[in-house]
Amino acid sequence: MAVSTLRNVAVAILGAVVASISIDPARAQDVVRRPAASLTRPATPAKAPTADGFLQRWLVLEPIRVAGQLTESAVQTVVKIEHFPNQLTAIPRHGETVTVGGTELAWHAVDTVGYNVNLFHFAHALNKPTSNVLFWAVTIVHAPRDLSGVRLAIGSNAASVWWVNGAEVIGIYNDRQTVIDDGVSRRLTLKKGPNVIRAAIVNAGGATDFCARFLDGEDRPITGLSISLTNR
């Protein structure tokens, strides 16, 4: 039910020219909106976390319309639905599209200027819904060596479920605002090389965003990582 395609070259060039945005204006449907002020198109092959460890580079899928229920059972149900093939394993690329419920949705590579990724800005700039939606986000963190005893620490508005290298590690539910380290995984190991971090964020209404970082065994942010959006 889904088809992946590469975006055409013209769109890529246009995106590069509009340096301050990552959103493809050609995808805006009927209304031309200003680009997301907090998001830019990645301009370097790799990016380090911030001094506070926040991961600022992500691939974000345009929002999927859902019921917007935020209870644990409702969120777990909606994220377990296969909206597109290999949604828990695929490594998307910027411009790839999937079809969900007959609607073609594109992945966008973004760098956020803040500690958080503002999904409201993201969707609004695309003239996409921001309420009763599910966002998928993926990033790839390259570790210089095996890092054991670390934790993924996230915040989200609203509910979210998170996976590290395919294992579900965090679920936070109900209507909530993005608070740093709101949800924290049990101790886990980042293996040397690429590690895939995947999130599903469900918003019912209003603002929506998320943030993520890794903490070491003393709960200090880990900054010695590289984010590249590829698993190579």
Among residues 174, 177, 176, 180, the alpha carbon closest in space to that of 151 is found at: 180
Give the footprint of other proteins on residues 121-180 (CB under 8 A): 151, 153, 155, 172-174, 179-180
Instruction: Please count the residues of this chain forming the interface with other proteins, following the rule CB under 8 A.
Output: 20
Q: Which of 9, 102, 167, 186 binds other proteins (CB under 8 A)?
A: 186
**In whole angstroms, what is the distance from residue 116 CA to residue 25 CA?**
22
User: Is 22 an interacting residue with respect to other proteins (CB under 8 A)?
Assistant: no
CB 210 within 8 A of CB 121: no
Q: Considering the complex, state which of residue 84 and residue 173 has its C-beta at the smaller distance from other proteins.
A: 173
The single residue among 98, 211, 215, 227 that binds other proteins, judged by CB under 8 A, is: 215
Compute the distance between CA of residue 125 and CA of residue 102 in angstroms, rounded to an integer: 22
Closer residue to other proteins in complex, CB, 41/151? 151
Query: Which residue has tokens 């204006």?
Result: 25
H or E, element range at 76: helix 72-80
Rounded to the nearest whole angstrom, what is the least distance from the CB of residue 197 to other proteins in the complex?
Answer: 16
104 contacts other proteins (rule: CB under 8 A): no
Query: Applying CB under 8 A, does 54 fall inside the site for other proteins?
Result: no
Cβ pair 190, 143 in contact under 8 A: yes
Which one-letter DSSP state was computed for residue 51?
T
Q: Where does this chain bind other proteins (CB under 8 A)?
A: 71-73, 151, 153, 155, 172-174, 179-187, 215, 219
